[in-house]
Chains A and B, each alone.
Chain A
Amino acid sequence: MIRWEEATKRYGAGPPALDGLSLEVPAGETCVLVGPSGGGKTTALKMVNRLVEPTSGRVLIDGADVAGADPVTLRRGIGYVIQQVGLFPHLDVAANVATVPRLLGWDRRRIGARVDELLDLVGLDAATYRHRRPDELSGGQRQRVGVARALAADPPILLMDEPFGAVDPVTRARLQDEFLRLQRALRRTVVLVTHDIDEALRLGDRLAVLAAGGRLEQYGTPAEVLGRPATDFVAGFVGAGRTLRRLDLLSAADALVAPGAGDGPSVDAAASLTEALSALLTSDAALVTVRRDGAPAGAVTLDSIRAALRRAPEGEAQPGLEHEGAADGDGEGGDR
């Protein structure tokens, strides 16, 4: 569990970089710090591993103030994925991944086995990539190595600063899928910084929306932030497409009405309402049959989608990740 208590950072006389942030991230959850630049997201993140010391307030990990920990020991116990990845260009992939285990003095055999295991975990063939240099890798591969390096010593906490920022949109989407798959398996406490609201909604169990001047505007699940923006700033930041985004977070099962016809368009119960609406709009039918394990379980109509959107803000639409987890339990990447 990570907890910021009234954490403030000032540089000089201007407005604070981070203004009295109070936030708690439960163990095993992904908290996304999201907002425009100047919102203090990275500042808040770096307070956790003491790369930034708060001017006032404090940060606690499992109840202990990080200010009381030795920074070097603290950092070796926290995975860190930085902007631009920051792989060591003079070391090969294996040596990069082995950084923290070496600092911790693991023996060579254990390090070698761990490196192979991690490369496999992030989807890189160990035999092929172990001895490559960072400049022989694509952007996406570098990001993967960066994640493997952060996970090397099996830290319970992972800090990720714009981890998927430096890659093209297609690679980015794939890396996001892989992150969700990994996080479902590993259940680390993750703090992730991004300026991209779509990425935040997709990856976060909770979102902390920070505005310029380092003010926390809202802290909640993706469904809460989309359904009930706490301030005009959040509403503006989430943007005009927020209703459509909410459809991504709801499943066809959330908008189920009377049994469907059986023919015409159909979707799986676990499909998002976006898919159901697409199926409606691209056919002449007035309803889309919803199937559960192949058998018709009901239908979705335009009216039932409206009703689901009206209901959802009251909190029953839990983070979309849960739906996704149920939908592809065999570990394939989600396709939302």
Chain B
Amino acid sequence: MALALALAVPPAVALGVAAARRPRLAALAVGTAGVIFTVPSLALFALLVGPLGLGTAPAVTALALYSVLPVLRNTVVGLHEVPPEAVEAARGMGMTEAQALWRVRLPLALPVVVGGIRVAAVTAVGVATVAALVAAGGLGDSIFAGLRADDTTEVLAATAVIAGLALTVDAGLALAERTLRRGR
């Protein structure tokens, strides 16, 4: 899951930066990512097992694909919300486009970007559970094993652990987001 996020976040942010000033690219990219996001996870795994086989590869790929939309969309939105006078001040004082991006626009958009990562991470925890079906292992295995053996205790225990994991990840990133917002 962490690997999937690590794979998805940099290109999604880069795409968001590129799209922030180009409305048509933004519409296209967010639209495409949105379509991927709406494909049910089971169907997406089924599609990916074809070319990638069973195991970790389709699982990580699916998680990465799901992560693109929230991160991309929040990057675009976050950059749009940067106060225009701060950007104008940056240009007017002689920052290059790259300096304005790294020193002003991205730092100001960061809390919103982290908000997107948070959504992506929580989604990923849920989807990773289903990844047991493509033999990627993980806690999902326990749920499916419990279901097959009609062992309610095992199902509930695994579910509780997964929910706990999702909540922990969410809380951690929420804290990061809040700290960043306070910092601005």
Residues of chain A touching chain B, judged by Cβ–Cβ distance below 8 Å, are: 49, 51, 71-77, 80, 82-90, 99-100, 103, 133, 149, 159
Contacts and interface: CB of A to CB of B under 8 A. Distances in A.
Nearest to B96: A72
B85 A74 contact: no
A299 to B, nearest CB: 52
A103 B95 contact: yes
A90 B85 contact: no
Interface in B85-121: 85-86, 88-96, 99, 103-104, 107-108
Contacts of B108: 88-90
B31 interface: no
Nearest to A51: B92
The residue among A72, A73, A83, A85 with the most chain B CB atoms within 10 A of its own CB is A72
A100 B86 contact: no
B93 A51 contact: no
B85 A83 contact: yes
Contact of A99 (B93, B96, B183, B184): B93
Nearest to B99: A103
25 contacts: A49-B92, A51-B92, A72-B95, A72-B96, A73-B94, A75-B93, A75-B94, A76-B94, A80-B89, A80-B92, A82-B88, A82-B89, A82-B92, A85-B85, A86-B85, A86-B89, A88-B103, A88-B104, A88-B108, A89-B83, A89-B86, A89-B184, A90-B108, A100-B94, A103-B99
Contacts of B93: 75-76, 80, 99-100, 103, 149
Contact of B86 (A74, A86, A133): A86
Interface in B108-158: 108
The residue among B90, B92, B108 with the most chain A CB atoms within 10 A of its own CB is B92
A75 B91 contact: yes
Contacts of A82: 85, 88-89, 92
B87 to A, nearest CB: 8
Contacts of A103: 93-95, 99
A17 B95 CA distance: 26
B82 to A, nearest CB: 9
B92 A88 contact: no
A75 B99 CA distance: 14
The 7 A-B residue pairs with the shortest CB-CB distance, nearest first, are: A86-B89, A76-B94, A75-B94, A86-B85, A80-B92, A90-B184, A84-B85
A74 B108 CA distance: 26
Contacts of B92: 49, 51, 75, 80, 82, 159
Given A80-B93, A103-B93, 13 more contacts: A49-B92, A51-B88, A75-B91, A76-B94, A77-B94, A80-B92, A84-B83, A88-B89, A88-B104, A89-B83, A100-B93, A103-B95, A149-B93
B125 to A, nearest CB: 30
A109 to B, nearest CB: 21
Nearest to B82: A89
Contact of A90 (B89, B91, B183): B183
A75 B104 CA distance: 17
